[in-house]
Amino acid sequence: MHFKLIIALVEDEKTEKILAAAREQGATGVTVITNARGEGLETTKTFFGLSLETARDVLFFLVEEHLSRKILEHISDIGKFDEKPGSGIAFQLDVEDAVGVAHQVQQLSEVVEEEI
């Protein structure tokens, strides 16, 4: 079984919606890193030297490769990544090898067989 790593950087208030969206499309788990900071084309605004940035979360989804594009597109739609600047981004990377996922392989095999 081959995997992809989907990394999503989202506004913290959207994290739960993004997690639910990924699970709807077949993601079996996630690692969340909270309180990340990022900057896009526009620099962050300040008020008397204090930053007005919103908190960000980094989400790591290790997903089966046949499900990855569907998950990626769905979380983008739910997070409105392409509609509003600064709302989030997501991308996927190939995973050469993974351990610690043996308990998920059987469940994923059944889901992937249905997809193919």
pLDDT in tens, 3-62: 999 999 998 899 999 999 999 999 988 999 998 876 666 665 666 665 556 778 999 999
Report the CATH number at residue 26: 3.30.70.120
Q: Which residues contact 99 (CB under 8 A, 6 or more apart)?
A: none
pLDDT at 17: 96
More confident residue, 112 or 23: 23
pLDDT of residue 99: 85
Q: What are phi and psi for residue 2, nearest 5 degrees?
A: -110, 145
**Mean of the pLDDT values across residues 73-81?**
95
Chain segment 51-76, per-residue pLDDT in tens: 556 778 999 999 999 899 999 999 99
- For residue 103, pLDDT over 90 is answered with no
Number of domains in the chain: 1
Nearest partner of 95 among 32, 2, 29, 28, judged by Cα:
2
What pTM, to 2 d.p., does this model score? Answer: 0.81
User: What domain range includes position 19?
Assistant: 3-115
What is the distance between the alpha carbons of residues 56 and 82, in angstroms, rounded to a whole number? 17
